[in-house]
Structure 1
Amino acid sequence: MNDVEKAAVAEDGTGLIDLIRRIKVVPLVTLHSVEEAVPLAKALAAGGVPIAEITFRSPAALEGMRAIHDQVPEVTLVAGTVHTVDQARQAVRVGCRGIVSPAFSDAVVDWCLGSLIPVLPGTATPSDIEKAYDRGLRFTKFFPAEAYGGVGTLKALSGPFAEMSFLPTGGVGLKNVREYMALPNVFAVGGSFPVPSPAQRRGDWKAVTEACVQARQLVQD
């Protein structure tokens, strides 16, 4: 990435955390095809959730990101399930404003910080969080949330890591989202519940919009 690219990403990405804090919910999206990317993104925006974490879990990820960036610019893109620096670099090139990883990858985090790209690394243990803290990060992903104790663990972490804020994902859904959002060290939640899998598979974008409206109401409450 050259200096011009870095400057552009930095300018676009500095407000990413603030945006997520305002929306309070980040839909995790695994695209089944490139063709569904644009209508899905429009459904998110229509439901008041103009952000998407497009995961590197399908061959359609990169081209889907590119299509959303080019055709639905009101939706902010972040790349999810990022394991390598190459994936992070490719995601930024097609329009992603931030990187989310399922675990704490030193290489990915250090590349993002050096390139002025917002990064939310996956953390699940105090040692993960300490590594993030040492690098100056104060916002991280907490994954897999429910498997690692969920609300109870986040409450316990608030003492020794009072400056840290978390984006819990993994097992977060309609049944427990309010419990997570009630925690002072949770700045937003992530999950697939704003994009129900049955609705996505049948291309029912109205149902996706309705799910986003419901999700937004829950997190705002």
Structure 2
Amino acid sequence: MLVDNKILPVLVIHDQKKAIDLAKCLYDSGIRNIEIALRTDSAKKSVDNIVNSQIPMNVGIGTILTIDDLIFAKQVGANFGLSPSADAPIIKKSIELDFNFIPGISTPTDISLAITYGINKLKFFPAENLGGMDYLNTINSPFKHLNLKYVVLGGINQTNFIKYIKSDNIIGVGGSWIAEEKLIKNNNWNEISVRAKKFLELSV
């Protein structure tokens, strides 16, 4: 679902005209996976711009809160989608659509719901607020034999991401620290590139 590396920049884009320049900057810096959060009026158009560009980016859509969001993700050609919660109707619809969907979990109950539908890739959110890897390892322990994999988001930054990257259970580490909103707003592609390269190097 994620390719080449575990780094997953979360992008909050307020101007769709910046989307392609941003994606190109990240791709040229070694980033292969991005999550575009559906939190702005420009988010859906930004996804469309990137998916239909010549940039071979692995595009994910985040903040999927409704079935309509899920249908949009499938129809626009996104590679995967993520939600902050485990919502049964959305999970069912993702299976019906044959779409790579990663529901959010924060408790063993959430995990149980997801695996009932055959989902084995989950979003642990909000990771740091809940206790980080110690908490995740604890709630995952009853399910360890199922070899579940996690994308972690929430409170992760340049100082704490390394502990997640090194875990075999983690397939993706997401956050906005590589391409912060203010950097995107100011077209600071150089700083975004520097950060992307730095954290890719640290994650090896």
TM-score (norm 1): 0.87
Alignment of 1:8-157 (within 5 A): 16-17=1-2, 19=3, 22-157=4-139
Once structures 1 and 2 are overlaid, which stretch shifts more, 87-96 or 58-67? Answer: 87-96
1:206 is aligned with what amino acid?
A: N
Cα deviation for residue 36 of structure 1 reads 0.8
Looking at structure 2, the residues matched to 115 and 93 of structure 1 have their Cα atoms a distance apart, in angstroms, of 10
Q: Deviations over 1:186-206 (max 9, x none)?
A: 122111122133321211112
Q: Deviations over 1:29-57 (max 9, x none)?
A: 11111111010000110111122111110
Residue 186 (1) aligns with residue 170 (2): yes
**3-state SS, counterpart of residue 170 of structure 2:** coil
The residue number in structure 2 matching 1:198 is 182
Cα deviation for residue 95 of structure 1 reads 2.1
**3-state SS, counterpart of residue 71 of structure 1:** coil
Asked if 2 retains the 8 angstrom alpha-carbon contact of 1:196 and 1:211, the reply is no
Asked if 2 retains the 8 angstrom alpha-carbon contact of 1:27 and 1:194, the reply is yes
Once structures 1 and 2 are overlaid, which stretch shifts more, 89-98 or 47-56? Answer: 89-98
Q: RMSD of the TM alignment (CA)?
A: 1.3
Q: Which consecutive unaligned segments of at least 5 residues does structure 1 have?
A: 1-15
Number of matched residues? 202
Runs of 4+ displaced beyond 2 Å: none
Looking at structure 1, the residues matched to 148 and 115 of structure 2 have their Cα atoms a distance apart, in angstroms, of 8
Cα deviation for residue 218 of structure 1 reads 2.1
1:153 is aligned with what amino acid?
A: Y
Cα deviation for residue 103 of structure 1 reads 0.7
Cα deviation for residue 213 of structure 1 reads 0.9
Residue 173 (1) aligns with residue 167 (2): no
Looking at structure 2, the residues matched to 76 and 165 of structure 1 have their Cα atoms a distance apart, in angstroms, of 18
TM-score (norm 2): 0.94
2:134 is aligned with what amino acid?
A: G
2:19 is aligned with what amino acid?
A: A
Looking at structure 1, the residues matched to 165 and 100 of structure 2 have their Cα atoms a distance apart, in angstroms, of 22
Q: Deviations over 1:126-178 (max 9, x none)?
A: 10011111111111000000111112102213421212111110011111111
Q: Which consecutive unaligned segments of at least 5 residues does structure 2 have?
A: none
Cα deviation for residue 105 of structure 1 reads 1.4
**What percent identity do the matched residue pairs reach?**
26
The residue number in structure 2 matching 1:13 is none
Residue 214 (1) aligns with residue 193 (2): no
Looking at structure 1, the residues matched to 122 and 140 of structure 2 have their Cα atoms a distance apart, in angstroms, of 13
Asked if 1 retains the 8 angstrom alpha-carbon contact of 2:27 and 2:55, the reply is no
1:186 is aligned with what amino acid?
A: I
Asked if 2 retains the 8 angstrom alpha-carbon contact of 1:27 and 1:190, the reply is yes
